[in-house]
Structure 1
Amino acid sequence: MDTALVIGGTRFIGRHTVTELLDHDYEVTIFNRGNHENPFAEEERVNHVAGDRNDQTALEAAAVSIAPDLVIDCVAYRPEQVRRATEAFADARYVYVSSGSSYGAEHVPKREGETPLEPCSAEQASDDSPETYGARKAEGDRAVMEAADRGIDAMALRPCIVYGPHDYTERLDYWIDRVLTHDRVVVPGDGQHLWHRVYVEDVASALRVVGESGVPGEAYNVGDRRLLTLRETLETIAEVAGTAVDVVTAGERELAAGGLSSEEFPLYREYPHVMSTATLTDLGWDSTPVKEAMARTVSEHEESDRDGAEHDPGRDAEERVLGVLDTF
């Protein structure tokens, strides 16, 4: 394959995907509305087509003018968008960026083809609220399977929580900022909770690998090969940053002393979320060593202005929790 079209392509997963494709000698075109700064504006090997992905005529025009061998859809959030894209690009290999949130059962680990998906009603399918995100992604997976049944080379990739440079969600940025600016950091629970994460460059490489070698109609989980607990995450951040951190765990009673609860902290999940990556690995994919991935993430964080403030439960409240713990 020589030509690739990335729907999205300028923010986080899409941005790294464009770089991955360029590194593997693809001619790349970005298709989006142009609402965000284009980091590839000066890159001669990247073309840009302005268009709304919800405009079927625009999608079909892009399919005709570009005739891509590979389409990677980074911004399909409703199943109807997947159905329209697979029709418009029926002559290409199509990879839909789904999500680990599409799974509807708390299995450990979650496996493709075994763990049930979230159901999705007609009302949920057209909704845009966070509460229906997993259901909508699951229905997008089913749309991929339906397209494959019609002879279209469509596949899905299910990332878990994605982290890395240029992460506009700032969920991990909150913890990086805490480690870099405070000696003692409050972590809810016992610090041993597992929420599977995946380095963004590995998502990008997985999208390319699935696009080149994936089986139509199949979905592929992608996640770090080594999982870190929340405590280990903070300790790894400190290690790669060349600093130290005192991870202070706090149960619900101690958190309540500061007017806090566990759910107010980013990347905390009571029940473990773990996904098997064996199916993707069988295609030849591998992940970046977690310490190397974290080092790149922390380095870019230090150069950015992101601090995860929107996820901050409040340092004053944490200090009250620390004060309570110090009396024990």
Structure 2
Amino acid sequence: MTDALVIGGTRFIGRHLVSDLLEHDYDVTIFNRGNHENPFSDDDRVDRIEGDRTNDSALEAAASEADPDIVIDCVAYYPRDVRAATEIFADVDAYVYISSGDAYGREEIPKREDETPMRPCSSEQAIDDSSDTYGNRKAEGDRAVFAAAERGVNAMSVRPCIVYGPHDYTERLDFWIDRVLEYDRVIVPGDGTNLWHRAYVEDVASALRIVAEEGEPGEVYNVGDRRLVTLEEMVELIARVARGATADSSGERSDLRATDVEVVHAGPRELEAGGLSAADYILYRDYPHVLSTAKLAELGWESTPLEAAMERTVEEHRESDRDGSEHDPGREAEERVLGILDTI
């Protein structure tokens, strides 16, 4: 039995990671502040240590108590977090840092780990807490992993693109699922061919474990769906899944409302007439964002078929109270746009 320490472990990626580790016979300890409900509180296979990962003494105490073989760091948001962790866990079999596809500093298709340049990170950006510097800070965390590997630490990095799936507290995909379930006409900005690579959360979890098991120190691995869909295709996939019924573990079909949806394209002028722009739509991106996942696949990693991933995601969405409303550009404004399009 291998002992794994997950820094984080209760919300989204970490939650699925713990489940994946348990399915592969790991003993798991989670280390976090306890600010969120622990879905593993009744599972005697999971131990929990309370503490703040930004407190080095608390992290050292957790290292001593858990004595892990592998460490997977889900909540390292600043370069100093990674530098401290790679010092404290210098002797483990594997330390895996969750970076981000936003660490890439040049727009090219696809972005490759060993070719595409990374974002720079100034001393000011390294301690900034705004979303504007997220990619810079993640890139500098990668550099801390590379430096640790140079010192002989078995440190590696995983770069997910936009992550989706059950229990996603960001509610990015929930907005689009809610639109499909609630309305028969869904506006997609532009011509629908926008492409922003996404990664199913269970695949991110398995990637983290596989990199810990098979990855090379000092290497970084992209993770994302092996088959990509455009924004319009994503909406149609949600609708297709929602129209049918999702099979449960017994093979029975759950009672899901049939859903038909018309995708309506709206260009800049039509959106502007409703007081909107393409940037108001979550998961829209002007230039395609695509990560190569060949390097990860060489380790034996596979991604979940898109329809299965979306079935699980939509089913859990229906059971939750999430609706993605914080990302809503406003249905009244959209109705004005639809009215204009109907007259053209």
Shared fold by TM > 0.5? yes
Where 2:97 maps in the other structure, the secondary structure is strand
Question: For residues 31 and 120 of structure 1, what CA distance do their matches in structure 2 show?
Answer: 28
Corresponding residue for residue 247 of structure 2: none
Which letter maps to 2:75? V
Where 1:47 maps in the other structure, the secondary structure is strand
Does residue 287 of the first structure (1) align with residue 303 of the second (2)? yes
Question: For residues 78 and 185 of structure 2, what CA distance do their matches in structure 1 show?
Answer: 42
Task: Give the superposition deviation at 1:252.
Answer: 0.6
Matches within 5 A, 1:237-248: 237-242=238-243, 243-248=259-264
Matches within 5 A, 1:1-328: 2-92=2-92, 93-242=94-243, 243-328=259-344
Which letter maps to 2:212? G
Deviations 1:74-122 (A, max 9, x none): 0000000000011111111100000000000001000001000000000
Deviations 1:203-256 (A, max 9, x none): 000000000010000000000000010000000000011122100010110000
Question: For residues 62 and 10 of structure 2, what CA distance do their matches in structure 1 show?
Answer: 18
Gaps of 5+ in 1: none
Question: For residues 61 and 172 of structure 1, what CA distance do their matches in structure 2 show?
Answer: 38
Which letter maps to 1:326? D
Question: For residues 234 and 222 of structure 1, what CA distance do their matches in structure 2 show?
Answer: 22
Which letter maps to 1:180? L
Task: Give the superposition deviation at 1:62.
Answer: 1.3
Question: For residues 216 and 128 of structure 1, what CA distance do their matches in structure 2 show?
Answer: 28
Task: Give the superposition deviation at 1:172.
Answer: 0.3
Which letter maps to 1:44? D
Which letter maps to 1:77? Y
Task: Give the superposition deviation at 1:60.
Answer: 1.0
Where 2:308 maps in the other structure, the secondary structure is helix
Deviations 1:19-58 (A, max 9, x none): 0000000000000000000000000000000010011111
Kindly report the root-mean-square deviation, in angstroms, between the aligned alpha carbons of the 2 structures: 0.6
Percent identity between the two aligned chains: 70
